[in-house]
Amino acid sequence: MPVRTPFVMPEAPAGRDPVSQLDIAGELTALLRDTTTEPRPDTQLEALTLAVAADLPVLLWGEPGIGKTAALTQLAASLDLPLTTVIASVHEPSDFSGLPIVGDDPAEQGVPMAPPDWAVRLVRAGRGLLFLDELSTAPPAVQAALLRLVLERRIGALRLPPGVRIVAAANPRSSAADGWELSPPLANRFVHLQWTHDHEVVVRGLGGTWPRATLPRLAPERLPEAVDFARRAVCGLLTARPALVHRLPGNETRRGGPWPSPRSWDMTLSLIAFATAAGSSRDVLSQLVRGTVGDGPGLELLASLDRMDLPDPETLLADPAGADLPERGDLRQAVLDGVVAAVRNRPEKSRWDAAWALLVRALETGAPDVVVVPATTLASLRREDWDVPASIEQLAGAVSLSRRADRAAARTADREAVAARAGR
Q: How many residues does the chain have?
A: 424
Domain ranges of the chain: 39-100+113-211, 220-308, 313-422
Q: Using CA atoms, how far apart are residues 130 and 34, in angstroms rounded to an integer?
A: 25
The pTM score is 0.74
What are the tens digits of pLDDT across the range 111-139?
A: 777 788 889 999 999 999 999 988 888 88
Average pLDDT over residues 80-94: 87
- At 60, the pLDDT band (50, 70, 90 cuts) reads very high
CATH architecture of the domain with residue range 39-100+113-211: 3-Layer(aba) Sandwich (3.40)
Name the CA dihedral angle for 214, 219, 223, 225, rounded to a multiple of 10 degrees: -120
CA 17 to chain centre: 56
The mean pLDDT of the chain is 84
- At 291, the pLDDT band (50, 70, 90 cuts) reads very high
